[in-house]
Amino acid sequence: MSTAYIALGSNLENPAKQLQDAVNAMGHWEHSSIEAISKVYSSRAVGPGNQPDYLNAVVKITTRLSPSALLEHLQMQETAQGRIRNEQWGARTLDLDILLFDNLQISTQNLEIPHPAMKQRNFVLYPLADIVKLDMMLPCGSDLGTLLQQSARDDLACSDISLNYNFKSE
């Protein structure tokens, strides 16, 4: 089994429901299991136009899927939840990104792991820190604690929304 960290984001059509629906779907994937879910954070949109604020979270999963198969599952879920890809960084019902996959570094036309912008995004780093140790080393050689110290919290706020999942007891 491999361990992957997935970033979830939404700023359209009831973002809290969009994130919860994505977690529910991931919880039913064959060959995968949700291990942890971060708190939900709200942040201003990064992108064109006057967009609504985002809700963001990170989910840790274990999976037998390959990185490319996992990406395919995530993109199918985005589409199932109404994502339309017509503008880069535009508003969206759901955005699911693979942040990390084991300690792999992958760079293809369709997939880059670690996620290329994760080190600059407080709305990724803070939720990730909720579910991993701060001394976690990323494949690039940076540790999460140092990246957090270098990342301003700015408008990022912990939300009172929580994502529910019935974790399997051992």
- In sequence order, what are the residues at sequence separation of 6 or more whose Cβ sits closer than 8 angstroms to the Cβ of residue 79? none
Catalytic residue IDs: 83, 92, 95, 97
Q: Identify the DSSP state of 120.
A: G
Q: How far, in Å, CA of 168 to CA of 165, rounded?
A: 9
Q: Alpha-carbon dihedral of residues 126, 147, 32, 20, nearest 10 degrees? A: 20
CA 53 to chain centre: 16
Residue 22: its H or E element: helix 15-26
The single-letter DSSP state of residue 93 is S
